[in-house]
């Protein structure tokens, strides 16, 4: 399934750091859906490890959005969540094959918006 090449090129030119971060974030979000509720052979929770990776990649994505001028340091966390969801929706037009990741993004950034804003606030305030 091919995406819209024009949107990909536009993102590559206008927001290169954000595009790179979104590519990695989407892969981690797909892993969250895949590993939810699973444990390793020795009982380690795969979901917890994947969620930690997601938080680290989310922080990098937010920094990339600031670097590209998509958001400002002064932008509220709720607005950051809204803008990130909008960027992911645009990204999904260029790369439509990650439906599990986009489902997680819609749930986390859309349906659980207050929780997402609190998580983003915590990530932005930590060193």
Provide CB contacts within 8 A for 78, sequence distance 6+.
113, 117
Q: Where are the domains of the chain?
A: 5-125
Per the structure block, which two tokens stand in for 47?
A: 């979901």
Residue 2 confidence (pLDDT)? 61
Asked whether residue 1 carries a pLDDT value surpassing 70, the answer given is: no
Name the pLDDT band for 26 (thresholds 50, 70, 90).
Answer: very high
Provide CB contacts within 8 A for 126, sequence distance 6+.
59
Model confidence over 51-79: pLDDT tens digits? 999 999 999 999 999 999 999 999 999 99
Cα–Cα separations (whole angstroms), residue 3 to 29, 36, 94, 95:
19, 28, 4, 5
């Amino acid at each position: 399934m091919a995406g819209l090449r024009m949107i990909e090129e536009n993102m590559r030119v206008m927001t290169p750091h954000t595009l790179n971060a979104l590519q990695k974030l989407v892969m981690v979000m797909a892993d969250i859906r895949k590993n939810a509720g699973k444990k390793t052979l020795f009982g380690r929770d795969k979901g917890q490890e994947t969620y930690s990776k997601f938080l680290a990649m989310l922080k990098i994505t937010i920094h990339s959005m600031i670097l590209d001028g998509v958001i400002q340091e002064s932008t509220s966390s709720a607005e950051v969540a809204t803008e990130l969801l909008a960027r992911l929706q645009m990204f999904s037009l260029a790369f439509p094959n990650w439906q599990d990741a986009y489902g997680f993004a819609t749930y986390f950034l859309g349906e659980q918006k207050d929780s997402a804003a609190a998580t983003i606030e915590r990530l932005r305030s930590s060193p």
